[in-house]
Amino acid sequence: MKGLVFDIESRFAHFRKVYTNSSSLSYTVPPRTTIHGIIAAVLGYERDSYYSHMDANLYVSVKKNNPTYKMTQTLNYIKAESASELIKPKNHTQVPFEVITSIPNVSYRIYAGGDSFSDMDILIERLKQERYVFPPTLGTAFFLADIKFVSEVWFEKHTSSDYTPISSVVIADAVNELKLEEMSLIKEKMPRAFGENRTLRAMESYYIEDNCRMITAKLKNSSPCWRTSYGENEEFIVFM
């Protein structure tokens, strides 16, 4: 399966958890829906126009390049009880906002592949030439991000009954057994797919290695793992 690898980084990131309301908590890594949104911005897809197309044709996954930590800031939001107060606000409300940061930067490696994704070649060329239709961000409009194209790759399906060192996040339901030595695992339930009008269509739980190490696991036979090589790297990926 044809694909590509690229890095995206920024000083800060925020991926709002769907179940939070007044307090804006953040996922540790960008969910599948956010990665689709980053790629849609590069290609210039209009907002809310690409969900079904990408969901069916574009496989993506992610790993952390640097250890991260979270801090909470307080933002002043407008408290509006009528449309006129949006123009001339009378009151404000303070909302806790969780921010992901790292030294020197928050950085993620994105894997994307799909033989049936019609814009794959266009995406590769835009990333190589750094020609983005809309500016890429890490979660919110004010966390502008830089993208570094890593490589064009080929993903080959890999099956094994033994432990496999997986570089990316791993779907929890795909795991038969974990080798827990020297791992710091986080399990987060994140959005997997949106429907029309950004309605949440599917959620999935994922294992994330918080210190950027590989996740050594035996996968279920029904859960594919993909092998790819670029430069001196050989990696095993589980798509989200």
- The per-residue pLDDT for range 123-133, each reduced to its tens digit, is 999 999 999 99
The predicted structure's pLDDT at residue 218:
95
The predicted structure's pLDDT at residue 186:
94
The predicted structure's pLDDT at residue 197:
79
- The per-residue pLDDT for range 67-112, each reduced to its tens digit, is 999 999 988 888 887 888 778 888 888 888 999 999 999 999 999 9
Q: What is the mean pLDDT of residues 218-225?
A: 89
How many domains does the chain fold into?
1
The predicted structure's pLDDT at residue 8:
98
Query: How is residue 233 annotated by DSSP?
Result: E
SS3 (DSSP) at 220: coil
- The per-residue pLDDT for range 23-55, each reduced to its tens digit, is 789 999 999 999 999 999 999 999 888 998 999
The predicted structure's pLDDT at residue 161:
85
Q: Kindly provide the b/e burial profile for residues 55-83, where b requires at least 16 CB atoms within 10 angstroms of the residue's own CB.
A: beebbbbbbbbeebeeeeeeeeeeebeee
How high is the mean pLDDT of the chain?
93
Q: Indicate left, alpha or beta for 130 from its phi (over 0: left) and psi (-120 to 50: alpha).
A: left
The predicted structure's pLDDT at residue 159:
87
Q: Is the pLDDT score of 228 beyond 80?
A: yes
Domain that holds residue 230: 2-237
Residues 6+ apart with CB under 8 A from 188: 27, 28, 29, 205, 206, 208
Identify the residue with better confidence: 138 or 19.
Answer: 138
The predicted structure's pLDDT at residue 21:
74
The predicted structure's pLDDT at residue 166:
97
Lowest mean pLDDT among 63-67, 134-138, 166-170, 222-226: 222-226
Identify the residue with better confidence: 226 or 160.
Answer: 226
Q: Is the pLDDT score of 195 beyond 90?
A: no
Identify the residue with better confidence: 148 or 23.
Answer: 148
Q: What is the mean pLDDT of residues 113-132?
A: 96
CATH of the domain at 9: 3.30.70.2660
- The per-residue pLDDT for range 21-31, each reduced to its tens digit, is 777 899 999 99
Q: What is the mean pLDDT of residues 115-127?
A: 96
Q: Indicate left, alpha or beta for 198 from its phi (over 0: left) and psi (-120 to 50: alpha).
A: left
Q: What is the mean pLDDT of residues 164-177?
A: 96
On whether the CB atoms of residues 177 and 18 are closer than 8 A, the answer is no
Residues 6+ apart with CB under 8 A from 79: 85, 89, 90, 91, 92, 93
Q: What is the mean pLDDT of residues 14-25?
A: 87
Q: What is the mean pLDDT of residues 191-212?
A: 91
